[in-house]
Amino acid sequence: MATIIIILIIIALVCIAIRRIYRTVRYGGSCCSSGSAMDKKIRVKDKKKANYPFSYKLRVDGMVCSGCVRRVENAINKDGELWAKVDLEHKEVHVLAKKEMKREDFANLLKGTSYTVLGME
């Protein structure tokens, strides 16, 4: 009887592990993943750097994984006149812009996310 209980527990643990692996492979293993697919990446249409006369470096708090990187880049890139690239290691976002921007403008772009602009250069 005890052997049957142990085997059932092992089977349950294996099923849980297989489900976790499946969800990680399908939806990503980011800290932000809520069990749904990652947001589709918003790609910049104008990739000619000469068209972006302004350059900014933002320090952004709250980014810890590739999901965070995608959300921050998408929030900025959806503007159409901005091109963002996140450096997760240094918690920085490098932004090329076609127009002059203020710190408050970037804060407004990230308002709907859980990330905070700490500084801008």
Instruction: Name the phi and psi angles at 83, rounded to 5.
Output: -135, 110
The CATH architecture assigned to 49-120 reads 2-Layer Sandwich (3.30)
Residue 3 backbone dihedrals phi, psi, to 5 degrees: -65, -40
Domain boundaries along the sequence of the chain: 1-30, 49-120
pLDDT at residue 27 in the model: 59
45-97 pLDDT tens trace: 888 888 899 999 999 988 888 788 888 999 899 888 899 999 988 899 999 99
φ and ψ at 93, to 5 degrees? -125, 120
- Between CA 21 and CA 27, with CA 23 as vertex, the angle to 5 degrees is 125
pLDDT (tens digit per residue) in 5-61: 999 999 999 999 998 877 766 655 556 655 556 678 888 888 888 889 999 999 998
Confidence class for position 111, pLDDT limits 50, 70, 90: confident
CB 29 within 8 A of CB 66: no
